[in-house]
Amino acid sequence: MKIALMGYGNMGQELERVIGSSDKHQVVSVSLKSVDGVWDIDGLRKSDVVIDFTHPSVILENIKKVAALGKNMVVGTTGWYDKVDEVKRIIKQKKIGLIYAQNFSIGANIFFKVVKDVSKLFAKFGGYDVYGFEVHHSGKKDSPSGTAVRIAKEILNNFPSKKKLQAEKLDRQIEKTELHFASVRGGRNPGYHEVVFDSIADSITLSHQAHNRTGFAKGAILAAEFIKGKKGLYNFDQVFEGGDTG
């Protein structure tokens, strides 16, 4: 499969390395090595699938331009999910396929399911509060991370006493219905997420630590294999479960 990369930060470089380590696929183009960088239109036209790890400020424009070329996309860029309805319209009009994820790590996606199931259990038996935090490298462009937002969604959907995500600094007592998920930015950590269920009797901690970006790259390539030849909007969950979001 011929893959075009958009963005050449840590993830773009890791994708190029992982793809280059096998003869299964090849990188035929790299565009937007910086946010205001150059588009390799000829290279994009040669590709089967485009993988985007750029910046939320440009992702909508990127999707429009790639869709106009009739190319399917994998979007690893986070922080744009308030525009999902607009993206649906674009891909429907241009008849392409697009798959996105808050996190393309296979381990992280299993972690989401663990959090979902455990949240149901603690909610059933009662007496527990829940909170979380995440740590990312100093170059991370959004906060909270897309992964943290996804984890929070699993908790909010399955732990009825929590009604609202609170990801900002608090200069007051937190409300019982708020789920606090804090963020730390600094150093080189590629991604750490922790969820704590706490009661008067004990605490249970669930965590996921990415050791490097290889898992994210392999997941994005798996997503590219999945989306090739498809039409419509998909979430990475559907690589495991099947089905179309519309």
Q: Give CA–CA dist 224/151, Å, rounded.
A: 24
Whether residue 193 lies in the annotated active site: no
DSSP collapsed to 3 states, 174-224: CCCCEEEEEEEECCCCCCEEEEEEECCCCEEEEEEECCCCHHHHHHHHHHH
| CA dist., res. 85 & res. 162, Å (int) | 26
Task: Answer whether 29's CB lies under 8 Å from 7's CB.
Answer: no
Within 35-83, residue ranges assigned H as helices are: 41-46, 59-68
10 CB-near residues (< 8 Å, 6+ apart): 139, 190, 213
- Known active-site residue 231: no
Selecting among 25, 140, 180, 193, the annotated active-site residue is 140
Instruction: Say which of 136, 162, 193, 208 is annotated catalytic.
Output: 136
Rounded Cα distance, 79 and 77, in Å: 7
Cβ 99 vs Cβ 226: under 8 Å: yes
In terms of DSSP bridges, do strands 203-209 and 192-198 run parallel, antiparallel, or are they unpaired? antiparallel
Where in the sequence numbering do the catalytic residues fall?
A: 136, 140
